[in-house]
Amino acid sequence: MTEQALEVSGLVKHFGPVRAVDGVDLSVAAGEVVGLVGESGSGKSTLGRCVTRLLPVTAGSVVIGGRDIAGMSRRQIRPLRRQFNIVFQDPSSSLNPRLTVGDIVAEPLRHHRLGTRSHRRARVVEMLELVGLGGEVTHRYPHELSGGQRQRVSLARALAAGPSLLVADEPTSALDVSVQASVLNLIARLQREMGFACLFITHDLASVEYLAQRVAVMYLGVLVEVADRAELFGSPRHPYTQALLSAAPIPDPPLQRRRQRILLSGEMPSPVAPPPGCRFHTRCPVAVDRCRVEVPVLRPVGPSGALVACHLVGDDGTAPALVGTADQTAAGGTGDSPGRAGGLHR
C-alpha cells in the first residue's frame, strides 16, 4: 500500500445549521496531485480549510504524516504545520502588505525555527529562484508585483519549509489566461521537482485536467465521484459529473457546436436542508424513486475501482446515459446532427 500524504475520513463541517461538508472520505498519496472540483457552495473550499485546520472540524479525521489533526488544539498543530500548507485564490489579500517579499517567504522558516539566519536567507533566495522570481524582488513589497508574481511569492512561502502536502485553493482563478498558464506550469514543475502531494481545489475543469492525476467531484457537501483523470474526463459516470463536463465550453468552435449539453434544472439546493436520498436527485434528469429516499454511498465500480455515489451506476461501471434524455439541448441549434457526445471532454 502506498503511503498517504493525506487521509480524510468521515469529515463533517457544519456552520450552525449549514452543512457545508457532510461526510467526506478522500485520500491523497505521497507525491500525488488530486483535483477537487465543484461549483460554488459545494463545500470544496471549506474542505480545504478543514484539511489544513484553518477551521475547526465538526467530526471525522484528517490524517497527515500519520497523525490525526482533526481534533488537535491549535497549539498541538503548530509544530506539525511544517508538513502542510495552503495557497489561496487572491494572493494580494494573503500576503502581508507591510512585509517585503524576502520576509514573507522567510516567515515559515522563522516560525518553525529552521536553520540559522544565513541559512534562511539562502533558502529564501533559493525558493524565489525556484518559483521563477529573481533575487531582486527580495526587498520589494507585494503591491509592487503583478498578480502572477504575487502568486509565485505565495507558492514560495507555502513551500519554503518543505511540506509534504500543499492545498491549492483556486490558485489561478483570479489571473489572466496567459498568466494562469505560467502559474499552472509552475505548480506542475515544483510538484515534479519537490515531490509534494497536492490537493488542487478549483472550479476550472481544464486546469484540473492539466494538473491532476486523480479527480474528486463534490456536490453539496459530499463527493459524488472520484476517478483517475483520463477515466473521469473520458467516461464520467455520475449524472452530475456528466452535466458539469458537458457545461464547460471547449475552446474549439466546431467541436463545441457538436457537443450536447445536459442542462440542469433548478439551482443547487441550500446546504441548510439538503434533499433526502441522493442530494442531486432534485436536479438529476434520470432520478428514480429510490434516489429520493436512499442515500447512495461512494463505492468502487468497474474494472478500475473508480468511486461513484449513484444508484443508477452498476457495479460493473455502466452509467446512465444523459445525452439523449429530454433535458439536454443541442448546443447552438445550428442544425448540426449532434451525434453521440461520448467524449464529452475530448
The interface region with another protein, picked from 76-84, 120-128, 178-186, 273-281 by CB under 8 A, is 178-186
Q: Could you say whether residue 178 binds another protein (CB under 8 A)?
A: yes
The single residue among 16, 17, 40, 75 that binds another protein, judged by CB under 8 A, is: 40
Each residue 206-225 as x (binds another protein by CB under 8 A) or -, in order, gives xx-xx---------------
Sign for the CA dihedral angle at 91, 32, 37, 281 comes to negative
> Hey, which residues does 64 pair with through a beta bridge?
6, 67
Determine which residue in the list 156, 264, 291, 310 makes contact with another protein, applying CB under 8 A: 264
| Count of residues engaged in binding another protein, rule: CB under 8 A | 43
Residue 44 or 53: the one with the smaller Cβ distance to another protein is 44
Nearby residues of 124 by Cβ (< 8 Å), 6 or more positions away: 102, 105, 106, 109, 138, 156, 160
Among 88, 200, 233, 280, binds another protein (CB under 8 A): 233
Options 136, 267, 315, 316; binder of another protein; rule CB under 8 A:
267
Comparing CB distances to another protein, the nearer of 108 and 236 is 236
For another protein, the closer CB: 250 or 286: 250
**Residue 25 near another protein by CB under 8 A:** no
Give the nearest distance from C-beta 175 to another protein in angstroms: 9
Q: What span, in angstroms and rounded, lies between the C-alpha atoms of 250 and 269?
A: 27
Does residue 176 interact with another protein by CB under 8 A?
yes
β-pairing, 306-308 vs 222-228, is antiparallel
Of 65 and 332, which has the nearer Cβ to another protein?
Answer: 332
248 lies in the binding site for another protein (CB under 8 A): yes
**Residue 336 lies near another protein (rule: CB under 8 A):** no
> Which C-beta is closer to another protein: that of 124 or that of 232?
232
**Binding another protein by CB under 8 A: which of 76, 93, 185, 325?**
185
- Taking the least distance from each CB to another protein, the nearer of 307 and 331 is 331
73 lines the binding site for another protein (CB under 8 A):
no
Tell me: does residue 325 bind another protein (CB under 8 A).
no
| Nearest distance in Å: CB 153, another protein | 16
Q: Which of 93, 96, 325, 329 binds another protein (CB under 8 A)?
A: 329
Burial class (CB in 10 A: 0-12, 13-18, 19+), 257: middle
249 binds another protein (CB under 8 A): yes
Q: Which residues bind another protein (CB under 8 A)?
A: 39-40, 146, 148, 176-182, 184-185, 188-189, 203, 205-207, 209-210, 233, 243-244, 246-254, 256, 261, 263-264, 267, 329, 331-333, 346
